[in-house]
Amino acid sequence: MAQKQINILKNIRGKKCLVIDPKLSGSLSLIVQSSQLKEHGAELRHLTTEPVETDCTKMVYLVRAQLNLMKFICSQIHNDTLKGLQKEYFLYFVPRRAVACEKILEDEKVHEMLIIGEYPLYLIPLDEDVLSFELDLAHKECVVNGDTTSLWHIAKSIHKLEFSFGTIPNVRAKGKASTRVADILNRMQAEEPVTSDMGIPEINTLILLDREVDMVTPMCSQLTYEGLLDEFLGVNNGAVELDSSIMGVQQEGKKLKVPLNSSDKLFKEIRDMNFEVVVQVLRQKATSMKQDYTEISTTTQSVSELKDFVKKLNSLPEMTRHINLAQHLSTFTSKPSFLGRLDMEQTLVEAQSYDVCFEYIEEMIHKQEPLINVLRLLVLFSITNSGLPKKNFDYLRRELLHSYGFEHIATLNNLEKAGLFRKQDSKSNWLTVKRALQLVVEDTDTTNPNDISYVFSGYAPLSIRLVQHAIRSGWRPIEEILKLLPGPHSETKKSGFASSPSFDTIPGSLNNLEKVADGRRSLVLVVFIGGVTFAEISALRFLSSQEGMAYDIIVGTTKIVNGHTLIETFVE
Give the HSE-up count for residue 545: Cα atoms under 13 Å, Cβ half-sphere: 13
Omega of the bond leading into 95 within 30 degrees of 0 (cis): yes
Could you list the pLDDT tens digit for every one of the 572 residues in the chain? Answer: 555 555 665 566 668 899 999 988 888 888 877 777 777 778 899 999 999 999 899 999 999 988 999 999 999 999 999 999 999 999 999 988 889 999 999 999 999 999 999 988 889 999 999 999 988 889 999 999 999 989 999 999 999 999 989 999 999 999 999 999 999 999 999 999 987 666 678 999 999 999 999 999 999 999 999 999 999 999 998 999 999 888 888 777 788 999 999 999 999 999 999 999 999 999 988 887 777 667 666 665 666 655 665 566 666 788 889 999 999 999 999 999 999 999 999 999 998 889 999 999 999 999 999 999 999 999 999 999 999 999 999 999 999 999 999 999 999 999 999 999 999 988 889 999 999 999 999 988 999 999 999 999 999 999 999 999 999 888 899 999 999 999 999 999 887 654 444 444 443 433 344 555 456 788 999 999 999 999 999 999 999 999 888 899 999 999 999 999 999 999 98
pLDDT 10s digits, 272-291? 999 999 999 999 888 877 77
pLDDT of residue 505: 42
Closest CA to 522 of 206, 172, 204, 208: 204
Q: Domains plus CATH for the chain?
A: 2-120 (3.40.50.2060), 125-215+460-567 (3.40.50.1910), 225-332 (3.90.830.10), 352-417 (1.25.40.850)
Contact 440, 414 (CB under 8 A): no
CA distance 487 to 382: 18
Contact 147, 141 (CB under 8 A): yes
Q: How far is CA 138 from CA 177, 258, 381, in A?
A: 10, 28, 24
Report the 10 Å Cβ neighbour count for 48.
11
Q: Sort 301 into a burial class: Cβ within 10 Å, 0-12 / 13-18 / 19+.
A: middle
pLDDT of residue 318: 86
3-state SS of 369-408?
A: CCHHHHHHHHHHHHHHCCCECHHHHHHHHHHHHHHHCHHH
Contact 433, 462 (CB under 8 A): yes
* DSSP code per residue over 441-460: -TT--SSS-SSGGGGGTSB-
Residue 512's identity, in one-letter code, is: N
pTM above 0.85, yes or no: yes
pLDDT of residue 525: 97
pLDDT 10s digits, 374-383? 999 999 999 9
